[in-house]
Chains A and B, each alone.
Chain A
Amino acid sequence: MKTTYLPKLARGEILGAVAISDPATSSAEEPPACAVVTDEAIRLRGTKRFVVGAVGAGLFIVYASTERGAHDRPPGRMLLAVPSTTPGLTVAPRDPLVGVRASGSAALEFDDCVVPTAMVIGQASEARRIGKELLASADLVVAAQAVGIGTAAMEKAVERARERETDETLVGSHQSVQFMIAEMQLQLNASRLFVQRAVDARSESDSAYQAAQAKAFAGRAAVETADRAIHILGGDGSLADHGIERHWRDAKTCELNPSTRESAQLLVARHLLEEVS
């Protein structure tokens, strides 16, 4: 699997995407992706949602449930590498997201996709752990993304504060603007330090906690920074021409990807309670 896919992924000849999120409601029309395991192959059925980069991806890493009791296996989780060309796999129309709209996020529908057992990643017993690691990696990426979005929004706001005069008063001479700039600088600095710390802790036992915390903080900081930046630009901030409303919308996705702010905070809380018990 490594020799087939990693060089192509490294060269960018094929793009990878990760399918973790299940549909919000498990309904008959939209069941979560479920794998039926036989000796020869695995059949995938159901749906995965919010797959970032689904449009254009050549290979999907799919985190699937395994069917209860199939071949006497306990119900569990399984990680599979699924090429986009697999018969029965459909990439749904692009999700109409609030932000990062060019990311090609879409749902995946599996209609009895046959996946060879050779495409299973890791042992069945490792699937949950690997799934958590994937989530931690994604948290870290989104935390860094949030820092970038926040920095871009702040740069535009600082430029406006320095250059523009309204009623012969420099925008940046207003204390309200100065205080917003101070808050941006502070939150983005702390966000960068959080990301750095989470990167340093990548091989530590608390890496998932570190990544979730970095994401929860940096995501909020990005939203608040972009929000303040809009206010510093005033009416211009709401115009698409200035790009800040895009940063504002993009920032919001950092509080939703790869999981919600609340999910990240609950992961942090579980870690704290495990430490104390």
Chain B
Amino acid sequence: MITLDLTEEERMIIEMVRDFSATELGGVAHEIDIEKRVPLEAIKKMQDLGLFGLLIPEEYGGSNVRAIASARVIEELSRVCAAVAITVSVHNAVGAFPIRMFGTEEQKKRFLPRLATDAIGAFCLSEADSGSDAASLKLRATRDGDAWVIDGTKLWVTNATLAGVFLVFVRSDPDPSLGHKGITALLVERDTPGLSVSKLEDKMGIRASDTAELAFDSVRVPVENQLGVEGEGFKVAMSALDNGRIGVGAQALGIARAAFGEALRYAVQRRQFGQPLADFEAIRLMLARMDTDIQAAALLVYRAASMKDAGLAYGPEASMAKLYASEMATRVAHAAVQIHGGYGYVKEYPVERYYRDARVTEIYEGTSEMQRIVIARSVLGKKRSRGSSS
């Protein structure tokens, strides 16, 4: 294990999260996955424990832990329930954090104390025809007096049914030649008239987190809810995603650690041909590769978080952490199912859930392909790597 240089307070938070996960999530993780149920009681307790204020400064009611500690929290939650972990990570990294980064003092005072305690955050970027090519988004906002009026839909909104505050990226200038320069970020309150959840997704994994389509029908948002400069919303989105990628990397790491733990235990207990599976060389090699894969991802995730904490540019490192950890989690969960044989394919054992949960980490907050473009660009220089307008 890597020994991380955590403060006493950070260690206590992680210890607390481990206890909480075991007692409050361990017993229900399986059931809420099958029922696609968001565990509202557990989420309320996590708000009371301060897990939704991890990246919010103390003066606004948060605990403001470092990125490395925040990543460890997400990792610990993901070892037990990856769905709850992404609820927290989306809130912290791409819901609350952008307000801290880009908000005016007045906006921070209005939103952050609520987000640290009882309001959940959500991030609305993707649309039906605008996924990886986020700069092509079309959700239209027109100026009417001292308000923006939004019409259209957003897709893949994590926390859609829970959120109190939505960070919504809109096309504020219809001139198509502007591309990403015609995008503005707006903070939309849940109870704003015209805002509704129009379709709940039925997902392969992380089923106990809600993902939905959001409909905007002449939703009026006061201009004081505009986050950052008009036309510079894309910068807010990209900065949020850099941060979110450390969270997804940590989530993938947690899922993989859980899958590996089950596989190792099973390999020691299960006997075939008169000996434990762990005595077969082929199984040993699988276990060694799984562990090496996990350690590589851990090094990359902790490295990206440490760079963020040191105030260094960490975008490419976050992409590397997210890319490696996500693909690693699928590989490790795949191997864990294989070691379990038939038992790995049924819901009696948790590894099939880890396998399903891992898969999305290769897709959301930037697909693996988009991460590769970001990384290649960091090596080759911008003009030489096309494929993204970001």
Measured CB to CB, the residues of A under 8 A from B are: 158, 161-162, 170, 172-173, 175, 178-179, 181-183, 185-186, 189-190, 193-194, 197, 213, 216-217, 262, 265-266, 268-270, 272-273, 276-277
Contacts and interface: CB of A to CB of B under 8 A. Distances in A.
B295 A213 contact: yes
A178 B381 contact: no
Place the interface of chain B in its size category: 35 or more
Given A173-B385, A186-B324, A197-B299, A181 B379 contact: yes
Interface of B: 2, 264-265, 268, 278, 281, 284-285, 287-289, 291-292, 295-296, 299-300, 303, 316-317, 320, 323-324, 369, 371-373, 375-381, 384-387
Contact of B292 (A175, A189, A217, A277): A217
B385 A172 contact: yes
B264 A276 contact: yes
A118 B260 CA distance: 49
Given A170-B384, A178-B380, A186 B323 contact: yes
Nearest to B291: A272
Contacts of A213: 291-292, 295
A190 B297 CA distance: 8
Given A216-B292, A273-B268, A276-B264, A181 B299 contact: no
B371 A162 contact: no
A272 B292 CA distance: 11
Q: Is the interface of A mostly helix, strand, loop or mixed?
A: helix
A189 B324 CA distance: 11
Counting from the closest, the 7 A-B pairs by CB-CB distance are A178-B376, A269-B284, A265-B288, A182-B375, A193-B299, A182-B372, A268-B288
Given A181-B380, A265-B288, A276-B265, 12 more contacts: A185-B316, A185-B375, A189-B320, A193-B299, A194-B299, A217-B292, A269-B285, A269-B287, A270-B284, A272-B291, A273-B287, A276-B264
B295 A194 contact: yes
Q: What DSSP secondary structure best describes chain B's contact surface?
A: helix
A179 B384 contact: no
24 contacts: A173-B384, A178-B372, A178-B376, A178-B387, A179-B372, A179-B376, A181-B375, A181-B379, A182-B371, A182-B376, A183-B372, A185-B378, A185-B379, A186-B323, A189-B300, A189-B320, A190-B324, A193-B299, A193-B303, A216-B292, A268-B288, A269-B284, A276-B264, A276-B265
Contacts of B285: 262, 265-266, 269
A277 B269 CA distance: 11
Contacts of A161: 380, 384
Contact of A266 (B284, B291, B320): B284
